Amino acid sequence: MADIIQLLPDHVANQIAAGEVVQRPASVVKELLENAIDAGATSIKLIIKDAGKTLIQVIDNGKGMSVTDARLSFERHATSKIKSADDLFQLHTKGFRGEALASIAAIAHVELKTKQEQDDVGTTIVIEGSEITSQEVVVTPKGTSVSVKNLFYNIPARRNFLKSNAVELRHVIDEFHRVALAHCDINFMMYNNGSESFNLPASNYRQRIVNIFGNKTNEKLVPVNEDTEVLKISGFVGKPEFAKKTRGEQYFFVNDRFIKSAYLNHAIASAFDGLLKTGTHASYFLNLTVDPQTIDINIHPTKTEIKFDDEHTLYALLRSAVKHSLGQFNIAPVLDFERDSSLDTPYDFNQKNTSAPSIEVNRSFNPFKEEQSSRAGTSSTKQVTFKKESASNWESLYIGLESGSENEPSDFSEVQFESEETTASMFDNENDVEQVHTTYQLHNKYIVSTIKSGMLVLDQHRAHQRVLYEDFLKNMTIKETVSQQLLFPLQLHFSVQEIQILTQLKEDLEHTGFVFSNVTEESVEITGVPVSVPESEVSIILEQLISDVENEVPDAHFSAMDLLAKSMAKSLAIKTGQSLQKDEQEHLVNKLFACKEPNVSPTNKTTFITMSVDELDKRFI
């Protein structure tokens, strides 16, 4: 029998490795930015075209590479970061496996330009599908420039799996934020389709957060600092009143590396226990510094998950540090049993001189006299008169209460009640009387109604979603809607990327009834809202909409208008647990069955079920 096991060619092995390392353009951005940081760059520029599908270019002013190193950097498992397996537990760099550039070169057109400071000229290498097409001498500034063009050009199936440009750009921006937040001492710049998106100068950590998420973020931050032998914590958490319904602004960095950890996230959530509204999540930007020997980074291809040696200790320290900061800055309520607030001196009386109180007594006061003359021996000019009723008139209190009085009846035997006049029906035939449909609300969640064949049970939240969804779609399609003008303009603050999302949806939002008077880089001013939207819900609706666009944006097969209608319907629909009046229940039932698709909600979930009389009869057999 012939041998069937064979070695894979290098280009095939690289493409397989690329499936783990390079999942989308954001993965390339992450690897190239980390390589630039490891090269000791102080200024890094990221250039993006078509969300990275056409071009991803990273330019840095690091130490650069020699001719030999530039050639070797595209070989598999070629790295300068480690030399033995033991070095994996003493890592102080980002990349260490030597797979990034080899994987990227296998699925894209790559051009590398690099030069060391002591060299007069640099080197340029052009690679297409793992094959080096040219290597020449070039004049280039100190540092390295890597251009990745036409990602997944030789794997059409992988390219078809990429999402729309808006989704992929959002992932690229997320990776850019993660790297920029971990290294606030480096100047980062990002350009998207020729326009500057971010220019982050080297600064402290707080200023870096403000530069990314907007000036209004500064007032939302509470510093957290804790230094122990096991763990060093520094960074900021968001105040509870600014908590969002999304988990967007949650960042953990371990030894300057972004990680995802549900376990440590639970520690933050428990520290905020009792301070957050239901369904909201606190923001945090925390740097954790631990001994590299106590963590294992090499457990995930993208290196975003880390295995800790003692997670329980880290959990307790992190939770305590956050709770301490919230209490120290009077964010969380504090009980102090040794302090009596009634003894606090008001601010207005701090500098005033105290004076002894004076007491004046009228010694001639006699409460048993019928009339009392004015006070003697006092400086008051008022005259106080006291009068006591004579006890001999006590019988007058009972006048008119004798039984058998002519004015009032002695008992209730003659009391008459008014009754409504009854009108006889014009037709007395009982068969012709139309049956009245009644509704009943069950557990403030379901609406039960009678139908000809039996019983109808309707989910009020999903049913109202369907009603609102079709109404919003109709308004946006015919571009005719009613807007309710606000007495005072509503100004809402968002981050730069959130403003960009709102700008893209601005026209569709206006068709639903929103009126935008001014849109800046960090805020929007709203002067009108749809009739069905209360003013207090506007910020919640827009935050939910931004979250849906960031995380649940459908592919090109769906329209932004459809997503907008779904998001607004989800935010404004009647919630589970809300009590409804009889007329509201009947109105919801009637509106649902007037829809084109009453059977399912906008998210394709069942809105109602029916149960016939026969089915009910079978239950009693």
- Residue 170 sits in a domain of what CATH number? 3.30.565.10
Same-domain check for residues 192 and 222: no
Question: Of the residues 172, 200, 228, which one is the last residue of a structural domain?
Answer: 200
Same-domain check for residues 265 and 140: no
Same-domain check for residues 138 and 195: yes
Q: What is the pTM of this model?
A: 0.68
CA distances from 403 to 186, 397, 423 (A): 100, 15, 42
Rg (Cα) of the chain, in Å, rounded? 37
pLDDT bracket for residue 143 (50, 70, 90): very high
Q: What is the pLDDT of residue 200?
A: 92
pLDDT in tens, 408-464: 555 555 656 565 555 544 444 444 444 455 788 888 899 998 888 888 899 999 999
Least trusted range by pLDDT, from 15-29, 270-284, 486-500, 567-581: 15-29
- 406 falls within a domain: no
Q: What is the pLDDT of residue 89?
A: 55
Question: Of the residues 176, 200, 224, which one is the last residue of a structural domain?
Answer: 200
Same-domain check for residues 61 and 82: yes
Same-domain check for residues 194 and 151: yes
Average pLDDT of the segment spanning 379-395: 55
Q: What is the pLDDT of residue 180?
A: 93
**H or E element, residue 561:** helix 560-572
- 349 falls within a domain: no
Q: What is the pLDDT of residue 372?
A: 47
- 2 falls within a domain: no
Same-domain check for residues 587 and 563: yes
Q: What is the pLDDT of residue 56?
A: 93
- 346 falls within a domain: no
- 395 falls within a domain: no
pLDDT in tens, 321-343: 999 888 887 666 666 666 666 66
- 347 falls within a domain: no
Q: What angle do CA 386, 389, 391 make, to 5 degrees?
A: 145
* Neighbouring residues of 299: CB distance < 8 A, sequence distance ≥ 6: 305, 306, 307
Q: What is the pLDDT of residue 391?
A: 58
Q: Which residue has the higher pLDDT, 133 or 347?
A: 133
**Side-chain half-sphere CA neighbours of 323 within 13 A:** 13
Average pLDDT of the segment spanning 366-388: 55
Same-domain check for residues 61 and 186: yes
Q: What is the pLDDT of residue 69?
A: 85
Burial annotation 536-567 (CB, 10 A radius, 16+ → b, else e): eebebbbbbbbbbbbeebeeeeeebbbbbbbb
Q: What is the pLDDT of residue 427?
A: 47
Question: Of the residues 328, 357, 378, which one is the last residue of a structural domain?
Answer: 328
pLDDT bracket for residue 348 (50, 70, 90): low
Q: What is the pLDDT of residue 425?
A: 46
Range of the domain at 173: 10-200
Least trusted range by pLDDT, from 184-198, 208-222, 381-395, 553-567: 381-395
- 206 falls within a domain: no
100 is written with which tokens? Answer: 């990034």
Average pLDDT along the chain: 80
490 strand-pairing partners: 526
Same-domain check for residues 264 and 166: no
For residue 465, the domain's CATH number is 3.30.1370.100
Same-domain check for residues 147 and 178: yes
524/528 Cα distance (integer angstroms): 12
Q: What is the pLDDT of residue 385?
A: 53
Q: Say how many domains are in the chain.
A: 3
Q: What is the pLDDT of residue 433?
A: 43
Same-domain check for residues 258 and 154: no
Burial of 85 (0-12, 13-18, 19+ CB in 10 A): exposed
Least trusted range by pLDDT, from 192-196, 207-211, 266-270, 530-534: 530-534
Same-domain check for residues 176 and 220: no
- 223 falls within a domain: yes
**Side-chain half-sphere CA neighbours of 89 within 13 A:** 8
For residue 278, the domain's CATH number is 3.30.230.10
Same-domain check for residues 220 and 162: no
